Chains A and B, each alone.
Chain A
Amino acid sequence: MTKEIIQERLNQAFTGAALQWAEPWGMLECTIPADQNLAIVTFLFQELGFQFLTDITGIHYPEQEGKELGIITHLHNLKDNIRLRLKAFVPVAAPDIHSLTSVFSGADWMERETYDFFGINFVGHHNLKRILNVDEMDYFPMRKEYQMEDPTRLDKDDEMFGR
C-alpha cells in the first residue's frame, strides 16, 4: 500500500466526489465533500487498512463563505504506516456532518470536544453534549468571533504592539 494506490482507489470509488489531494509536509491530505465523510472513512477503514483514528478536530475560517467550519480528521494505517488527513467543510449556518462513532468508538469524545468548541453537529452521535465547557454555555468559544479578551478594554490598548 502506497500513497499513490490510496489516491487511485479513493478516486475510483468516489468518482463524483471531486476529491482534492495535497501533500503538505509529507502528510497525505484530502479535501472531501462533507456529506460523504462517513462513506469515505468506512471505505478507508474496510478496504485500505486505516484502522486507527488519530484525531478529529475543527477549524473556523470566517471569510470562507458557505464553508466556514472545517472538520479535520487524521487517520493512520498502522500496517503500512501511512497517515492521512481528511478535511471537510460545512457552512456555519448548517454545520452538519456524519458522526464516525459507528466506525470508531474513539470518535465519541473527539466529536463531543469538536462540538463543544466549534458547534459542529455530528449527525448520528449518541450523546452529543458539551464535554470540557460548562453545560450552560450558549456559544462555541473556539470560533473566531469570540476574542480572548474584551476588545473594548482600554488599558490593554497598545498602539505599537497591542493585538
Chain B
Amino acid sequence: MVEKHIQLAENSVEKETTTINLGPTHPATHGIFQNIMEIDGERVIKTEMTVGYIHRAFEKIAERRPYSQITPLTDRLNYCSAPINNFGWHMTIEKLVGLEVPKRVDYLRVIIMELARIADHLVCNSVIGVDTGALTPFTYVFQWREKIYEIYEGICGSRLTTNIGRIGGFERNFPDDTWKKIHDFMDGFPAVLKEFETLLTRNRIFMDRCIGAGPISAERALNWSMTGPNLRATGVDYDVRVHSPYSSYNEFDFKIPVGSAGDVYDRYLVRNGEMWESYRIIQQALDKLKGMDSSIFHADAPEFYLPEKADVYTKMEALIYHFKIVMGETDLPPGEVYHSVEGGNGELGYYLVSDGGRTPYRLHFRRPCFIYYQAFNEMVAGGLFSDAVVTLSSINVIAGELDA
C-alpha cells in the first residue's frame, strides 16, 4: 500500500491525491487514448484507462464488405506491422475454404511478416529510448524501418497501410530491385541492431530507468490474457508461431526469447531478441527459396485470385471470374473459423462466421493491444509516475489496434 503524504480531516472537501490526465493527446501516449491518473506526489495511486477515441466500427463495416475488401480494414489495426494483419486475414479465408497455398508463397509471406515484426519492434524499442531521453538510437534505426517500408513499396505500392497480398498469394511477383533491397537489408541490418543494442542495452541511465519499472508476474499476465512480447517478458513461452503454426512456421528453426521479471527492461530485451530471431527466420526463408520455381507467387484459386488482364479480354472464364471478384460476388462456404497469427503485439485472432454469402455474417478481431492494455493499472499502480510513462511506451499500445 502506498503511503500518503497528505492527511486530511474526515469529511474534507479536499482530496489527498491529484488527478491528472495523461492523454487523449499527449507525447507519452503515442496515440489517442486517455489515462486518468490519481497521483500522490510522484506516486501513481491508480489509473483509469479510457479508450475508443478512434473507434471506426470495423466489425460492422466488415459485415457489408466482400471478403477481399476487408483486407484494407485489417491494415489499420496495428499499423506498425500491417502486413501481418493482412496475411492473417487472408489465411483465415484460406482456412475457411480449404485453400492450399504453394510453399513459395508461404516463405514469401514469412519474409514479409518477419520484416514487419522487425519494423514493429524497432519502433517500440527505439521509442522506449526516446521516452527515457535517448533520441539517437531512434534516429539510427528509423532509417532501417524506412528500408523495410521500401521493400513493401516495391511489392504492393504502399508503405504504412499496405493492403499487401491477396487471398491465395501475392498480387504480383517480387520485382528484382525489391529482392536487391531485401538482400541489402539482410547484409546491413545486423550491424545496425548491434549498434542499437550497444547504445541502449548496457546504458546506465537506460537500465536505471527500465529495470523494475512496470512489472507484472507471469501468473497475473496470463490471467489478464496478455500475449506477445509482453507475456514472454514475464517468462511464459507462448508464441502462436510455435503453438499453432501457420504459413509453414513449423519448418523454421528459431527460439522464443523470454524474460523473467516482466518489467520494461525485459520487454525491451525480449523484443530485441525477437528481432534477431526474425532475422534468422528470414535467412532460412531465403535459403529455402533457392532452387524453387521463382514464377510461383499465388495459389491456383480462380474464384479469389484476379486473372491476368490479357486473359480477361480474350478468355470467357477469366472474364467471369474477373467480374465476380471485382463486384465482390464470390460466395464463401458457411462455417465458423478462428485463426490467429503472432502479430507485432501478440495473438491477433480473426473469428469469422460465414453464412454462405459474399460478406461475413460476423467478424471479430481479437486485438492483443485491447486485451493487455487493461492490465496497465496493475502494472503502474504504486510506482513512480515517470515509470508509468516508460511502461506505456514499452507495452507498445497502438491506438488503431486498441479501438478497431
Task: Give the Cβ gap from A65 to chain B, nearest Cβ, in Å.
Answer: 18
Task: Give the Cβ gap from A70 to chain B, nearest Cβ, in Å.
Answer: 9
**B residues apposed to A, CB below 8 Å:** 51-52, 55, 57, 59-61, 63-64, 95-96, 220, 222-226, 236, 238, 243-244, 327, 329, 335-338, 340, 347, 349, 351, 353, 361-362, 364, 366, 370-371, 373-375, 378, 403-404
Task: Give the Cβ gap from A84 to chain B, nearest Cβ, in Å.
Answer: 11
Task: Give the Cβ gap from A145 to chain B, nearest Cβ, in Å.
Answer: 12
Given B225, B335, B337, B374, which contacts A54 in the complex, CB threshold below 8 Å? B225
A132 adjacent to B403 (CB under 8 Å):
yes
Closest A residue to B52 by beta carbon equals A132
Interface string of A58-81 (1 = CB under 8 A from B): 011000000000001010001001
**If A51-B222, A55-B366, A104-B225 touch, does A24 touch B337 (CB 8 Å cutoff)?**
yes
- Size band of the A side of the interface? 35 or more
Asked if A131 is at the interface (CB within 8 A of a chain B CB), the reply is: yes
Which residues of chain B are within 8 angstroms of A105 by Cβ–Cβ distance? 220, 223-224, 374-375, 378
Q: Is the interface of A mostly helix, strand, loop or mixed?
A: mixed
Task: Give the Cβ gap from A48 to chain B, nearest Cβ, in Å.
Answer: 15
7 A-B pairs within 8 Å (CB atoms) are namely: A59-B361, A106-B374, A106-B375, A110-B371, A113-B370, A148-B63, A148-B64
Which residues of chain B are within 8 angstroms of A104 by Cβ–Cβ distance? 223, 225
B335 adjacent to A24 (CB under 8 Å):
yes
A27 to B378, CA, bound (A): 33
B51 adjacent to A131 (CB under 8 Å):
yes
Asked if A109 is at the interface (CB within 8 A of a chain B CB), the reply is: yes
A117 to B404, CA, bound (A): 13
Given A74, A78, A130, A161, which contacts B351 in the complex, CB threshold below 8 Å? A74
A82 to B156, CA, bound (A): 36
A72 adjacent to B351 (CB under 8 Å):
yes
B353 adjacent to A59 (CB under 8 Å):
yes
Q: Assuming A51-B223, A59-B361, A133-B52, what are 4 further A-B pairs, CB within 8 angstroms? A: A60-B362, A81-B244, A132-B55, A142-B60
Most chain A C-beta atoms within 10 Å of own C-beta, residue among B60, B329, B336: B336
Task: Give the Cβ gap from B337 to chain A, nearest Cβ, in Å.
Answer: 5
A109 adjacent to B374 (CB under 8 Å):
yes
A85 to B52, CA, bound (A): 27
A142-163 with Cβ < 8 A to chain B: 142, 148, 161, 163
Asked if A96 is at the interface (CB within 8 A of a chain B CB), the reply is: no
A104 to B374, CA, bound (A): 12
A133 to B56, CA, bound (A): 10
B337 adjacent to A106 (CB under 8 Å):
no
